[in-house]
Structure 1
């Protein structure tokens, strides 16, 4: 775990956007490492990053979330076993709900609960946005929640249904009527009461989740965290990934100190883009490190060796011996084509 800018205030709500990304070792076509990233939505600062292997999936259990934290997460976090404990200790979630992955229940007194019929619930909305009270259950816990349902515009809904049909065909199946109906809607589950944030506000809040995607893009495009040149589970791989996170922490801290709220808050108009800011500061750090730690002549052989090709059966191409002889003779003025 790599803690960066932890901000905890139990007297207010702290909106934390969470997402994951992947890193591959050289030559790999599948995931080698996963980055579990959390940013503070107000400051857009990295709050926490965890590095795991490909065997560890996305989960809220990776993060040190406490009372007052509101986690904004995508479909990959439809997991009652990690959602319920967070809500139970005073945290909250805003989650892109997937009815196929997580079961929610009607608000009723039935001991075993009544599963929600989403087809009927969506029909009852008559194409209008609405809030549906639900229970989120895990083991003996029953948590009050709300699903905010919003219809997609006609063009987007049609496109979503086409994609659903294609995914079903790829698996040799036919998309169900329920799947096609739900494809035309955005469903967001939250443990925050409707009186605090209504459907319109929840929809606007969830759109801001895109900011974590931009942070991950900066980590990869500007700081090259995904250009891993070491094998899985090696000390060099561990050093590289955590070294890049240290690079990100220093870059972020310099940005905060140099530009303050002008670049690091979401509570007003921002005139400075994080992309240009990070790129400028990252280049300054690289230049400073190069100046402070010039290449030592004692290690020049090791430096050259690190730039060489790895051993392999086929050698790097070179000129034929006879061509080399002609070049040498030509340099001495002794080659004639006559």
Structure 2
């Protein structure tokens, strides 16, 4: 088996996961990302170059040199730069194909989506000085454990609870940044329900009769661990939004820690803390439009506790897949750079059941076990695609071999020669990594 055959086999699988060659070509022409085969023969080759640049660490010149040596494309770095500038809408459309929802998934129960945003810094000294950011607004579907909406903006656009198109019947979960009465009303008008963390002073509170509601008085009179009352969120125009207000009393230690942080932050800014803020710091406040009979207070609290899942997904994107600040200042390059990382995360997700852990722990070299523990399966799958794309080599040749599903010593030898030998762009591999092959154990 040659290096090229190993790489092409993996890339063919990637193309199938993205919908096939025909879909890639059609979408590339619709978005004008690929119109003429000048230097690049096909849309799939253009996608391969795009991902190799965005996910790799060899730069534009390194990518075009690798492409020429591999027979993928004969193109200059300037020409590739021009191609990448037009790739943003195309990558967005490919992600839309992967995120397309199947109606069968909704029949099992109500759709639960968690909304949040993460950010990476913009490139350049000026942007760094002025806190320039690329903000990714995301929706995370809880049942499928993956993103189903992604939109990239700069730091000027805030997090909005109605930014994501509403699926009738869905339950939308957000932190206190999404307590936006006007926009919550729009979500509910389209058939959605919300569970949002609340702050005592970021909304105009009304009681069930439409009169001003004393939220702090309600908290002071709360003697149970969980208290609930009907409430309304006043709008600038129109009828108030009918909601349920749920208050969960924090433990004494958690309440004291929250108050300590509030006092510390106020002191640093030279502000005075209001007594109401210290009272509210002892509670977790939620507002929801869910029916009380179907979703009692304890169930609503359990739903909100699942919000940490999107935080974990963001952590994986940045620490395992390698999402970081784009190297280019041009938005036409920076946005495809970010989209490529989300795209590879979506592509690798269906492989979780197929690949699982690369090899049983007892059959891996000790050095590889130390560097790649079994709980880093997403990272392993990313390194697999990096190898197929010609990006940065895996940190351990044992990892690449295990992901190629080799089971015999002869196959290990073949794959080792294929992976280790033809990598002139990356320099020589450390002797310790080559030596790991000789220490490979088989039971």
What is the TM-score normalised by the length of structure 1? 0.75
- Aligned position for 2:146: 45
1:76-115 correspondence to structure 2 within 5 Å? 76-108=177-209, 113-115=210-212
Point out which structure has higher relative CO (alpha carbons under 8 A, 6+ apart).
2
- Aligned position for 1:307: none
Q: Distance in 2 between matches of 1:221 and 1:192?
A: 35
Q: Please say if 1:5 is aligned against 2:105.
A: no
Cα offset, 1:256, TM superposition: 5.6
Counting matched residue pairs gives 277
SS of match in other structure, 2:205 = coil
CA shift in 2, pair 1:47/1:256, >3 Å: farther
Cα offset, 1:127, TM superposition: 4.6
1:177-192 correspondence to structure 2 within 5 Å? 177-192=275-290
Q: Please say if 1:169 is aligned against 2:277.
A: no
Structure 1 gaps of 5+ residues are 260-272, 292-299, 305-338
- Aligned position for 1:290: 390
Q: Runs of 4+ in structure 1 displaced over 4 angstroms? A: 256-259
> Could you tell me whether the CA contact under 8 Å between 1:10 and 1:67 is conserved in 2?
no
CA RMSD of aligned residues (A): 2.6
SS of match in other structure, 2:386 = helix
> Could you tell me whether the CA contact under 8 Å between 2:203 and 2:234 is conserved in 1?
no
> Could you tell me whether the CA contact under 8 Å between 1:218 and 1:275 is conserved in 2?
no
Q: Please say if 1:197 is aligned against 2:295.
A: yes
Larger Rg: 1
Cα offset, 1:142, TM superposition: 2.9
Cα offset, 1:241, TM superposition: 1.3
Which of residues 322, 326, 331 is equivalent to 1:234?
331
> Could you tell me whether the CA contact under 8 Å between 2:205 and 2:215 is conserved in 1?
no
- Aligned position for 2:362: none
More off after superposition, 4-13 vs 46-55: 4-13
Which of residues 254, 266, 271 is equivalent to 1:156?
254
> Could you tell me whether the CA contact under 8 Å between 2:244 and 2:289 is conserved in 1?
yes
Q: Distance in 1 between matches of 2:192 and 2:133?
A: 31
Q: Distance in 2 between matches of 1:170 and 1:227?
A: 29
Q: Please say if 1:224 is aligned against 2:318.
A: no
Q: Distance in 1 between matches of 2:255 and 2:180?
A: 26
CA shift in 2, pair 1:169/1:178, >3 Å: same
What is the TM-score normalised by the length of structure 2? 0.58
Q: Distance in 2 between matches of 1:140 and 1:66?
A: 24
- Aligned position for 1:278: 378
Q: Distance in 2 between matches of 1:24 and 1:42?
A: 31
Q: Distance in 1 between matches of 2:153 and 2:353?
A: 28
User: In the TM superposition, what whole-angstrom CA distance separates every residue of 1:224-255 from its partner, at most 9, and x where no partner exists?
Assistant: 22231111x43211221122222122112333
Q: Distance in 2 between matches of 1:11 and 1:142?
A: 32
- Aligned position for 1:118: 215
Cα offset, 1:17, TM superposition: 0.8
User: In the TM superposition, what whole-angstrom CA distance separates every residue of 1:123-152 from its partner, at most 9, and x where no partner exists?
Assistant: 221253111111223221333211110110
Q: Distance in 2 between matches of 1:153 and 1:52?
A: 38
- Aligned position for 2:346: 249
Cα offset, 1:218, TM superposition: 0.9
Q: Which one has the bigger helix percentage? A: 2
Structure 2 gaps of 5+ residues are 1-91, 357-372, 392-423, 427-443
> Could you tell me whether the CA contact under 8 Å between 2:200 and 2:216 is conserved in 1?
no
Q: Distance in 2 between matches of 1:228 and 1:92?
A: 36
User: In the TM superposition, what whole-angstrom CA distance separates every residue of 1:51-82 from its partner, at most 9, and x where no partner exists?
Assistant: 11111110123211221111110011111121
> Could you tell me whether the CA contact under 8 Å between 2:162 and 2:186 is conserved in 1?
no
> Could you tell me whether the CA contact under 8 Å between 1:84 and 1:136 is conserved in 2?
no
> Could you tell me whether the CA contact under 8 Å between 2:113 and 2:142 is conserved in 1?
yes
SS of match in other structure, 2:231 = strand
SS of match in other structure, 1:22 = strand
